[in-house]
Chain A
Amino acid sequence: MWARHGVIILTALGLLACYASTLKGMAAQWWTDEDMSHGFLVPLVILWVVWRERERWLKLSPAPNWWGFALLALAAGLQFASALGVGLFAGSVAFLLSAAGVLLCLGGSNWLRVAAFPLALGAFMLPKLAVVYNQATLPLQLLASRIAAAILTSGGIGVIREGNILDVGGHRVAVVEACNGIRYLLSLGFLAVVLAYWSDPKPWMRWVLLAAAVPVAIVANGVRVAAAGWLPSLEEGVPHAVSGCLIFVLCLATLMLFRQLFNSVYVHYRH
């Protein structure tokens, strides 16, 4: 028993040592990029999930699987490519693949199955993929501007939209790059999956709520921009942070309602 624990701890330490530079790079991005600062919480949530599943872990008897080495080799290739200049994203994916490979090597497919969800949560701490981010930014900015203009117009507030600039009664608001909604999207996506895991035993609910989080986050970002356009006092400082968090909590409440709705539909059709 103790020998097994020793092997696990040593392997984990080895993995951390091998990917120290990648992990350092990831932490640096969490520290400097406010879109990604939730990355600090992801490992904690993963540890909480593992602890919550401890009964399942203890029941499993290890059945080492050689395919784990294939995953480790693939991860090593990715890490090598990352070191050659492909970028931090490849190295971070390699870290998660290596973790999966180690689990397969030490405990077999049963271990990997139990670890699948915590490993999948690790995707939320991966660095932003620059190609995708750059392509998505401008369309999302324009979308947030359109949604905000539509909300203000439907509320009877006069607004002139010039691309990403809203003129609300002479008060001009620019929907800049950092207002594109990716921050809401990543944070809400992560919490949607955690919500589904915590409150619902059905694994498919995680995917459904993750998908539902996308439109909710996009619309919520539009609401946030509209609020800032309507009430200039919400543009900065504490009121800005509080309004941003309140809208985010409302998003989460919407996802909880969606969960109830999906559950009702599921129960209805099952019976």
Chain B
Amino acid sequence: MNKLVILLFWLTLVSCLSAQIALGPTVDTFGVLAGSTVTNSGPTVVLGNLGVSPGAAITGFAGIAPGGPGLVSGSINSANPFAAQAQIELTAAYNAAAGAASTATVAGNLGGLTFFPGVYTSSSTLGITGTVTLNALGNPNAQFIFQIGSALTTATSSTVLLINGAQASNVFWQMGSSATLGTTSSFAGNLLALSSISLGTGAVLQGRALARTGAVTLLSNTITAPAGLSGPPPPLVTPAPSSLLLVITGLAGLMIYQNRKRLFKSLKSH
């Protein structure tokens, strides 16, 4: 029995180590990357860069014509060398994910299931209705790779739950065609689609929407690009001193200003 446990542990460890995938340093900074167009309606927020290449059309975002309600915390890259480099790195990551050695086969609906680190393969479409749980078993570097033959579709309000140290940056959903996230669903991981990605109204993605050839369509979504394996997050500017300290300093300054004549007099007399 002990030997069996050791063998299973060893196999899991080997499969985990052999499956390590890293996004390149450029694509790592993107929250949204498309091959043809990025289209947005509603107050979408993208925390990370947004780009398209080789296509050029980006609509529905402030900061790029014709404008729109969407906000991007990073830069917007339309058919520029930065986006092109990101696409090159995306292709490499996509191929690495597609070529990873499979540890298990899955099919149909993943809702209600719990997955441990590994490479899971589906020959056709996959769906998520309800909650799918990814359990990293306490290892924050553990990776989950889902190789999906065609499309991934999630139902309304479905959820990808990360537990025991699982990181969104270490979850890869590699689709042979497209991904569609249902309305108000809460999704985690990097979506690597060969063609297109579509997010339903209010869907939240803790990860990246990266489409190689097709469009990324957004509808009032929040996308947070996590820190990846390709480098440490940038240092943070520690915020301004607390408002209490600021106001005390300011009040002291005001007192000096208001009593400056008296202060000058007393200084002179001394």
Contacting residues, chain B, for A41 (C-beta < 8 A): 244, 247-248, 251
A153 to chain B, nearest CB (A): 16
1/0 per residue B237-267: CB within 8 Å of A? 1111111111111110110011000000000
B45-95 with Cβ < 8 A to chain A: 45, 48-49, 71-75
Q: Which residue of A lies closest to B29 (CB)?
A: A162
Query: How many of A's residues come within 8 Å of B, CB to CB?
Result: 55
CB–CB B247/A38 < 8 A: yes
Contacting residues, chain B, for A164 (C-beta < 8 A): 73-74
Q: How far is the CA of A30 from the CA of B75 in the complex (A)?
A: 35
Q: How far is the CA of A35 from the CA of B102 in the complex (A)?
A: 50
Flag whether A241 is at the interface (Cβ < 8 A). yes
CB–CB A191/B250 < 8 A: yes
CB–CB A248/B239 < 8 A: no
Q: Which residue of B lies closest to A180 (CB)?
A: B239
Segment of A16-24, A193-201, A202-210, A263-271 engaged in the interface with chain B: A193-201
Q: B72 contacts which of A163, A173, A199, A256 (Cβ < 8 Å)?
A: A163
CB–CB A228/B237 < 8 A: yes
Contact A245 B254, CB 8 Å, known A174-B235, A174-B237, A179-B239 = no
Q: B243 contacts which of A142, A183, A199, A253 (Cβ < 8 Å)?
A: A183
A112 to chain B, nearest CB (A): 27
Flag whether A54 is at the interface (Cβ < 8 A). no
Contact A174 B249, CB 8 Å, known A179-B240, A191-B254, A256-B257 = no
Contacting residues, chain A, for B247 (C-beta < 8 A): 38, 41, 187, 190-191
CB–CB B29/A36 < 8 A: no
Contact A248 B249, CB 8 Å, known A163-B72, A163-B73, A183-B240 = yes
Contact A139 B71, CB 8 Å, known A174-B234, A176-B239 = yes
B34 to chain A, nearest CB (A): 18
Q: How far is the CA of A241 from the CA of B248 in the complex (A)?
A: 13
Contact A173 B235, CB 8 Å, known A38-B246, A187-B246 = yes
CB–CB A184/B236 < 8 A: no
Q: How far is the CA of A225 from the CA of B238 in the complex (A)?
A: 9
CB–CB B237/A225 < 8 A: yes
Interface centre among A45, A164, A232 (most CB of B within 10 A): A164
Flag whether B233 is at the interface (Cβ < 8 A). yes
Flag whether A65 is at the interface (Cβ < 8 A). no
Contact A34 B242, CB 8 Å, known A163-B75, A190-B247, A248-B249 = yes
Q: How far is the CA of A229 from the CA of B234 in the complex (A)?
A: 12
Q: How far is the CA of A176 from the CA of B47 in the complex (A)?
A: 11
CB–CB B234/A173 < 8 A: yes
Q: How far is the CA of A72 from the CA of B169 in the complex (A)?
A: 53
Q: Which residue of A lies closest to B234 (CB)?
A: A172
Contact A244 B240, CB 8 Å, known A138-B45, A142-B73, A174-B234 = yes
Flag whether A175 is at the interface (Cβ < 8 A). yes
Contacting residues, chain A, for B233 (C-beta < 8 A): 174
CB–CB A183/B239 < 8 A: yes
1/0 per residue A199-235: CB within 8 Å of B? 1000000000000000000000100110011001001
Q: How far is the CA of A40 from the CA of B245 in the complex (A)?
A: 11
Q: How far is the CA of A37 from the CA of B250 in the complex (A)?
A: 14
Q: Which residue of A lies closest to B72 (CB)?
A: A163
Flag whether A186 is at the interface (Cβ < 8 A). yes
Q: A36 contacts which of B72, B240, B243, B245 (Cβ < 8 Å)?
A: B243
Flag whether A98 is at the interface (Cβ < 8 A). no
Contacting residues, chain A, for B29 (C-beta < 8 A): 162
B80 to chain A, nearest CB (A): 12
Contacting residues, chain B, for A45 (C-beta < 8 A): 251
Interface centre among B233, B248, B258 (most CB of A within 10 A): B248
18 A-B residue pairs with Cβ-Cβ distance under 8 Å, sorted by A, are A34-B239, A34-B244, A37-B245, A38-B243, A141-B73, A142-B71, A163-B74, A165-B234, A174-B236, A183-B240, A183-B242, A198-B254, A235-B238, A236-B238, A240-B238, A245-B246, A245-B249, A248-B249
Q: What 8 A-B pairs have minimum CB-CB distances, sorted nearest first?
A: A163-B74, A172-B234, A178-B239, A37-B244, A38-B243, A34-B242, A38-B247, A187-B246
